[in-house]
Amino acid sequence: MQTPVFRQEALDRRLDEYVDLIVAALGHADRVEPFTLYLAGLLGEGERKSVEPMAARLAPARVNPEHQSLLHFVGESPWSDVALLRAVRDYALPSITGSAGIKAWIADDTGIPKKGIHSVGVSRQYCGVLGKQENCQVAVTLSVANEVASLPVAYRLYLPESWVADRDRRRETHIPEDVVFLTKPEISLEQIRTALADGLEPTVVLADAGYGDNTNYRDGLTALKLTYVVGIKPTTTVWPEGTGPLLPKRYSGRGARPHRLRRDLSHQPISVRGLALGLPSKAFRKIQWRQGTAEALKSRFCALRVRPAHGDLARDVPRPVEWLLIEWPDGEAEPTKYFFSTLPATTSLRVLVQVAKMRWRIERDYEELKGEIGLDHFEGRSWRGFHHHGTMCIAAYAFLAAERGRFPPGRSFSAARLKAPALPRGFRPRGSPDSARATQSDIHRHNPPRARRSTRRSTSTVPHLSPRGGEAKPRPKK
């Protein structure tokens, strides 16, 4: 099949139309120009996507004024992240989801390592990208997805309790007074409630064990009438099918009537790991869920009907039966992944696996948001700046994702890039390496835009997009 080539003018026009639609959410005309320039900086070339180097690349003749303008826009200007993300979502979703629609909501979080201790929310906590406890910020996200595309629609900093209680640090980083401590699962549920209130099409929620192992989180999803496929830990306990907690004791006629469920020494739930290790080999079937870049992705799975056991002793009735999905790859000494799911009892094993594995899409989001857009490059310290930069990165990513949706199914493309003027000779922004690099070497580039003052800075020219087969390899950690 002949490779489709998009005319440069058409791409430039779509980017201008995108900006025109989105800026209405900014609330003030003075914010349009710095928004446009910031978006251009994120979509453009360069090793660093923090404010200072972006200003130097986009306006080399007047770095300091543009630096101050962008710094004010991202760090202090009181535009609404929620309103901008809503406008971004409304623009991008039709192209991203196409006729397939939204198949899943993906709840997750991503760590941003930090050397210092003064940026808002920085704490010694688990950082997925490093795979260990380290100084970092953690952002909780909600993405909508189908088998071929995804888009973050919510982005919120997790603020550790030590920060919430520290008045001095709250004041220095301008944390709003109404921000209270919420766990990551609580933040995620808040994002999901907002998405429902905004009218997003409800569907199955996917999450890893950091969320799925939290009983209150699963109960919260059920209360919102949402199904889920969520990871759990091997130590999570269940009642196998046909078993359950003991019923309340018979009423003796004296005192309060017993109503709590019971256990005794001979009547205890079992861990999902213990249950899996006791299964015969024939209980597992090999399932292929997706074609990877180099080979088909497949593994061995088993699905059982069980009752989650956590919190039984505080309940009057047993928990409903749901799916336990177990993955035990060939060559492994024991299972590697476990999931709870409230998908219907008639759901096939193949569908359970395909839905559970759709969570890989979030890895693609984080890979491109960090590696291409600069999500983890922000150098400011404030609450507002952290969220404004994240929102702008999602706005840039949404345009690229919408452009990807214009290609035929099964095809991908090299990310669009704005060609900005070169950095001034000898310029080295703080935290940058010795030289800048292009993030995509196979992109055609034409006619760089000239930095100029106007009511709205043009984002053109964007190089035309060249489709390429295959898909990006997901990052192993976030």
How many of the other CB atoms lie within 10 Å of CB of 248? 14
Contact 189, 91 (CB under 8 A): no
Please choose, from the candidates 160, 228, 150, 161, the residue with its C-alpha nearest in 3D space to the C-alpha of residue 189: 228
| Residue with tokens 């919510």, as numbered in its chain | 154
Residue spans of alpha helices (H) in 224-308? 272-277
pLDDT exceeds 60 at position 452: no
pLDDT exceeds 90 at position 177: yes
pLDDT exceeds 60 at position 472: no
Model pLDDT, residue 262: 78
Distance CA 28, CA 78 (A): 10
pLDDT exceeds 70 at position 49: yes
Contact 415, 402 (CB under 8 A): no
Distance CA 234, CA 462 (A): 49
pLDDT exceeds 80 at position 395: yes
Please choose, from the candidates 193, 184, 196, the residue with its C-alpha nearest in 3D space to the C-alpha of residue 109: 184
| 147 φψ region: left (φ > 0), alpha (ψ -120 to 50), beta (else) | alpha
Model pLDDT, residue 107: 98
How many of the other CB atoms lie within 10 Å of CB of 194? 16
Amino acid at 65: P
User: Which neighbouring-strand residues pair with 155?
Assistant: 141
Query: Quick one: tokens of 221?
Result: 């999803």
Give the mean pLDDT of the chain: 84
Distance CA 81, CA 384 (A): 9
| Range 193-204 average pLDDT | 95
| Residue with tokens 């009983």, as numbered in its chain | 215
Would you place residue 210 in the very low, low, confident or very high pLDDT band (cuts 50, 70, 90)? Answer: very high
Contact 439, 45 (CB under 8 A): yes
pLDDT exceeds 60 at position 411: no
Model pLDDT, residue 101: 85
Contact 11, 416 (CB under 8 A): yes
More confident residue, 148 or 283: 283
Amino acid at 286: K
Query: Quick one: tokens of 231?
Result: 């990871």
* Residues contacting 13, CB < 8 A, separation 6+: none
Distances (CA, A) of 179 to 78, 187, 251, 266: 16, 11, 47, 47
Would you place residue 477 in the very low, low, confident or very high pLDDT band (cuts 50, 70, 90)? Answer: very low
Contact 203, 104 (CB under 8 A): yes
Over residues 267-317, the pLDDT tens digits come to: 889 999 999 999 999 999 999 998 777 888 999 999 999 999 988 877 878
- Indicate the range of 104-118, 240-254, 371-385 predicted with least confidence: 240-254
How many of the other CB atoms lie within 10 Å of CB of 319? 22
Contact 379, 311 (CB under 8 A): no
pLDDT exceeds 50 at position 463: no
Please choose, from the candidates 355, 275, 281, the residue with its C-alpha nearest in 3D space to the C-alpha of residue 308: 275
- Indicate the range of 89-98, 152-161, 319-328 predicted with least confidence: 89-98
Give the pairing of strands 270-271 and 228-232: unpaired
pLDDT exceeds 50 at position 27: yes
> What percentage of the chain has pLDDT greater than the value 90?
56
pLDDT exceeds 70 at position 200: yes
Over residues 315-369, the pLDDT tens digits come to: 878 889 999 999 999 999 999 999 999 999 999 999 999 999 999 888 888 999 9
pLDDT exceeds 60 at position 432: no
- Indicate the range of 82-86, 178-182, 359-363 predicted with least confidence: 359-363
Would you place residue 253 in the very low, low, confident or very high pLDDT band (cuts 50, 70, 90)? Answer: low
Contact 467, 11 (CB under 8 A): no
More confident residue, 347 or 245: 347
Query: Quick one: tokens of 341?
Result: 């799911």
User: Which neighbouring-strand residues pair with 143?
Assistant: 106, 152
